[in-house]
Amino acid sequence: MIDRTLFNEDHTLYRDSLRRFLETEVVPHHAAWEDQGYVDREVWTKAGANGFLCSSMPEQYGGADADKLYSVVLMEEVARVNATGLGFGLHSEIVAPYLNRYGTDEQKQRFLPRMAKGEIIGAIAMSEPAAGSDLQGVRTTATRNGDHYVLNGSKTFITNGYLADLVIVVAKTNPSAGAKGTSLLLVERGMAGFEKGKRLKKVGMKAQDTSELFFDNVKVPVSNLLGRENEGFIYLMQELPWERLQIAISAVESAQAAIDWTVAYVKERKVFGTTVSAYQNTRFKLAEAQTEVQVARVFVDKCIELLMVGKLDTATASMAKYWCSDLQCKVIDECVQLHGGYGYMWEYPIARAYADARVQRIYGGTNEIMKELVTRSMGLSVK
């Protein structure tokens, strides 16, 4: 295996500490969280107290001003134990960066320190019943009325939606202008007319509190506008490469975890008097999977290097997202097969990972959309 050169000793110490936290505070409870459909809020405050939330945010706003590699470590370790109920990555590396990059000092002071402590849980509301990967199709509207906006519409498939205290809502402030009329609003729990729908029952990621959100004449103060009016679509496009790379990072680690579980299983499980690992088909299948995951790891690590110097472009991030999530599903499927009937039993981690992985090819922009973005960089866009 190729040694990774991204991380230093401090990152390794952080990884060790995070791994202990997940093994004691998350793994023993995850099955119960899957049954109830969301994680306990207590795990958020514990994570905050241990410095595992918003680590890349500036110290003045409650973060550790750490580099993004600490966030990469968190994503990898969460994926390694398949703790898909935790919305830490989205909270810390999608919602918080929007606030830090586009928010006013007052907004940052009001929200980020409490997000770092786990007192406020963040979400971002893009998808709608009729607008998923196509963000230009958003129908939620925000009409200016004096010192506030009147927000109307609905969102669906919102991660952290059920527990969320703060939601970045994508809305049209100038519907006739298409994408150029999109803005981002900070909607807070308790605002009149803001309601949360049922927790959605999903094929996988059962502990993740995905829900619907409804906005009925919600009065959102103008002071809760994030960035400038009608520039929200630009902001979304600027942040999407990092968001998509996060999916690739977790996909690679999830695939590696599946291989590790399967190697351990086939060395113990016997069929016709010999271990499953003794069969050439088993060894070759695992060799193929490990090779492809290693190739993916090298590519993703290169993407991380580009991100660290501000050179990760949309096309490259799209390649990483689609290819690694496709590979994740392929590898886990092979590993389920090598588990035999037990691979289909929910108490086995490989079965949970199989159900959880499928959505990786859908959210963050479907893999078909990723391919469209890649073709545009090749000069193949349809006119």
Element (H, E) at 194: strand 194-199
257 vs 240: CA distance, rounded Å = 26
State residue 325's pLDDT score.
98
Are 9-120 and 233-377 the same fold in CATH?
Answer: no
Specify the 3-state DSSP secondary structure of 122. strand
Q: What are phi and psi of 325, to 5 degrees?
A: -70, -35
Whole-angstrom distance, CA of residue 20 vs CA of residue 15: 9
Which pLDDT score is estimated for 3? 85
Name the strand (E) or helix (H) holding 90. Answer: helix 88-90
Distance CA 291, CA 207 (A): 31
Residues 6+ apart with CB under 8 A from 178: 136
Rounded distance, CA 327 to CA 333, Å? Answer: 10
User: What pLDDT does 373 receive?
Assistant: 94
CA-based torsion, 315, 91, 73, 35: positive or negative: negative
Domain boundaries, the chain: 9-120, 124-229, 233-377
**Would you say 80 and 26 are in contact if contact means Cβ atoms under 8 Å apart?**
no
Cβ(116)–Cβ(70) under 8 Å? no
pLDDT of residue 133: 64
The H or E element that residue 274 is part of is strand 274-275
CATH code for residues 9-120 = 1.10.540.10
**What token pair was written down for 151?**
């927000």
pLDDT at 294: 98
Fold assignment, 124-229: Butyryl-CoA Dehydrogenase, subunit A; domain 2 (2.40.110)
> Is 326 within 8 Å of 344 (Cβ atoms)?
no
Assess contact for 206 and 144: CB atoms under 8 A: no
| Cα 274 to chain centroid, rounded | 41
Residue pLDDT, tens place only, 131-171? 766 677 799 999 999 999 999 999 999 999 999 999 999 99
Which residues are designated catalytic?
243
pLDDT tens for 28-66 read 999 999 999 999 999 999 999 999 999 999 999 999 999
pLDDT tens-digit profile, the chain (383 residues)? 778 999 999 999 999 999 999 999 999 999 999 999 999 999 999 999 999 999 999 999 999 999 999 999 999 999 999 999 999 999 999 999 999 999 999 999 999 999 999 999 999 999 998 776 667 779 999 999 999 999 999 999 999 999 999 999 999 999 999 889 999 999 999 999 999 998 899 999 999 999 999 999 999 999 999 999 999 999 999 999 999 999 999 999 999 999 999 999 999 999 999 999 999 999 999 999 999 999 999 999 999 999 999 999 999 999 999 999 999 999 999 999 999 999 999 999 999 999 999 999 999 999 999 999 999 999 997 76
Q: What does the pLDDT read at residue 132?
A: 65
* pLDDT for the residue numbered 198: 85
State the CB neighbour count (10 A cutoff) for residue 108.
21
pLDDT at 383: 65
Can you say how many angstroms the Cα of residue 364 is from the centroid of all Cα atoms in its chain?
Answer: 8
- 99, two tokens: 């606030």
- CATH superfamily label, 233-377: Butyryl-CoA Dehydrogenase, subunit A, domain 3 (1.20.140.10)
Q: Which residues neighbour 44 within 8 Å (Cβ) at sequence distance 6 or greater?
A: 53, 118, 121, 163
**Residues near 153 by beta carbon (within 8 Å), at least 6 away in sequence:** 128, 139, 140, 141, 171, 215
Please give the Cα distance from 168 to 185 (Å, whole number).
6
